Amino acid sequence: MTTPTTPTPQAAQEPQEVPQRQIWPGHPYPLGATYDGSGTNFALYSSAATGVDLCLFDDEGHEERVALKEVDGDVWHVYLPGISPGQKYGYRVAGPYDPASGHRCDPSKLLLDPYAKAIDGEVTPSQTLYSYSFDNPEVRNEEDSAGHTMRSVVINPYFDWGHDRPPGYEYHETIIYEAHVKGMTQLHPMVPENLRGTYAGLAQPAVIDHLKNLGVTAIELMPVHQFVNDTHLQEKGLSNYWGYNTIGYFAPHNGYAATKDPGAQVSEFKAMVKALHAANIEVILDVVYNHTAEGNHMGPTLSFRGIDNPSYYRLVDGDRQHYFDTTGTGNSLLMSSPQVLQLIMDSLRYWVTEMHVDGFRFDLASTLARQFAEVDRLSAFFDLIHQDPIVSQVKLIAEPWDVGSDGYQVGGFPPLWSEWNGRYRDTVRDFWRGEFSSLPGFASRLAGSSDLYGTTGRKPMASINFVVAHDGFTLRDLVSYNEKHNEANGEGGADGANDNRSWNCGTEGNTDDKDIIELRYRQQRNFLTTLMFSQGVPMIAHGDELGRTQRGNNNAYCQDNELSWIDWDLDKHDHKLLQFTRDLIHLRRDHPVMRRRRFLEGPAKRGGESELGEIEWFTPAGTHMTEEEWNQPWARSTMVFYNGDAIREPDADGRRILDDDFLLLINAAPEAVDFTLPDAKYGSLWHTVVDTAGDDDHRDYRSGDTVHVRPHTAFILRNPRRL
């Protein structure tokens, strides 16, 4: 295990008197630190403050305090000539410290600017970060935290974007690749060692070529907003790897920067986006606006808590010492607060306009717009996003998981939004592991989940289809483990999901049994095939095309080491899996019948089948499935006809779309099944394009022929337009 490196904490220095500094009133807008070429304007919102000091730090850590005298609309501001990019700063906020009333101002704590565009350093374990004594929480602790916390940094906003433009893929053309900045490149042999695990590493030709050759259209990056490495993890020799512990909503995480100069991470991130755009790959950010890294009432004072606690956090009614936690992380941002809503919208606009990203995936999005247990379609959060001329035009993806009693809120989001479809994941996993009575659900998911999204005027783009994401087993582990193996996390196995809907194919973990190894690769290919042939937007997790394993760990949130990084040393099976995945993705990109803009006309429970003939479902005998056959609990084999002559929607130029026809012969049963191809009106000549068993010679078949499909196998045939 790799132990995270921790810089030696700087001792807090006595404030220095600096003579003859020019101090101008400045402006209350924009919030944050804004460099104009001659100096920097600083602006901080706090309705609770009775006084605010801007703290400037030199390279030796000496602190200079500048009292902010100007206040407009609760915004404290000043302009300092000569302050240039790279300047480290923070705030100390004087005001009421009365936790029972919700106020936690504490000028002994150095605070990050909520609008900081870059952040330097990291939090190191220390009691100084807390406003109470560890020995007695009732005793006030006023130790200076400056030696153990981070600094905000003034940035240079200027960057040569050249001819950068967003690739602008429509949703139905989109294929998402979920990736981790560090995990993607840390072990990549073609990335220079000094660039591994960084934004610059992700922009390397070898990495971009991998994405281009794979055929994905968008990379969805796990959190890159500045996050905190939890001190309790540091003390265990672990670290926050996933990054769902945000403290800076405008700042790219400094730990992913190859250049360690303060603020350099901003230009490095921009250069990465520019390189990906040049390769026609969109950049989507996984963002965490539902909570912050300050935790519950016993957490550290790093930023928002000490600036204006009741304006930023949702407090318990009648007990304002405690936080109303809708996230399971200790706190929730107060979504009814104008300051919070402004912060979120300003942040989203900044990442689109200044950092050129193409969309967002919202972690725990339900909590951003929740009213009691339901997603409130009329919430202020949705209103602001929908009316915003910038944010409303990029990709918006919700994670509908909710800590409320109803769990997943799949289908609860309004138009403009797509959702991670957790029901797709669960149903497809159940089907391929052979669960009884799973065929009707499988058909609904293959057809785009109109039962979840179609009743509210949404389209297949609403469904982000996935079998595997960062949170859970990798694809390799999904077919190799029945149980989680999270011992390395140091939580006694209490963390991570227990019901993974996985199947180890006969033995737990590693094996030398060639039959089991072959079956596992077949199952991986089955999942990938199902994903690419489903209506909606497919998403794969990084490394699943390479057979990546976490050795049964289904919650690698704290594993910043070889357990979670991609191993690029591939064996022959992994190379074959990579080529198979490439072929599948390009097959989908080449054929619009697999990625329709509109829902199929028929009901979801019958897989979209209707009199229009867009899709038809057959038994292995080649007859149309009857109601009785749909409802047979043991039905685990089916044949699906994709009609390339029955695509209702036109192309971008208004022309009719014609495509080849496809037959999907799907056998999730443990025994081989003989399929009889339908009569000639569905096509006379069929070419083999996919055989997840891997043993077909790509021979041709004719209508009425029998096709022998092995157990746990997907077999795909293509009929070139009306041959």
State how far the Cα of 367 lies from the Cα of 400, in Å rounded to an integer: 9
Are the beta carbons of 327 and 404 closer than 8 angstroms? no
Are the beta carbons of 713 and 675 closer than 8 angstroms? no
Closest to 556 measured CA to CA, from 469, 472, 468: 472
Structure-block tokens of residue 181: 């900045």
363: annotated active-site residue: yes
Q: Which of 363, 544, 560, 609 is catalytic?
A: 363
627: annotated active-site residue: no
For 591, the 3-state DSSP assignment is coil
Closest to 294 measured CA to CA, from 231, 362, 336, 369: 231
DSSP of 74-108: TEEEEEEET--TT-EEEEEEE--EEGGGTEE--TT
DSSP of 216-231: -SEEEES--EEE---H
Which residue is it, tokens 């009292």?
67
Residue 10 makes CB contacts below 8 A (sequence gap 6+) with 61, 146, 147
Closest to 419 measured CA to CA, from 537, 314, 591: 537
For 146, the 3-state DSSP assignment is helix
> What letter would DSSP give residue 404?
S
State how far the Cα of 16 lies from the Cα of 62, in Å rounded to an integer: 7
Calculate Rg over the CA atoms of the chain. Answer: 27
Q: Which residues pair with 464 in a beta bridge?
A: 420, 537
Q: Which of 399, 545, 609, 616 is catalytic?
A: 399
Strand blocks (E) in 121-181: 151-153, 176-179
For 709, the 3-state DSSP assignment is strand
Which residue is it, tokens 């140091």?
490
CA atoms within 13 A on the CB side of 511: 20
H-helix or E-strand spanning residue 119 = strand 118-120
Are the beta carbons of 91 and 115 closer than 8 angstroms? no
Amino acid at 606: R
By annotation, the residues acting in catalysis are 363, 399
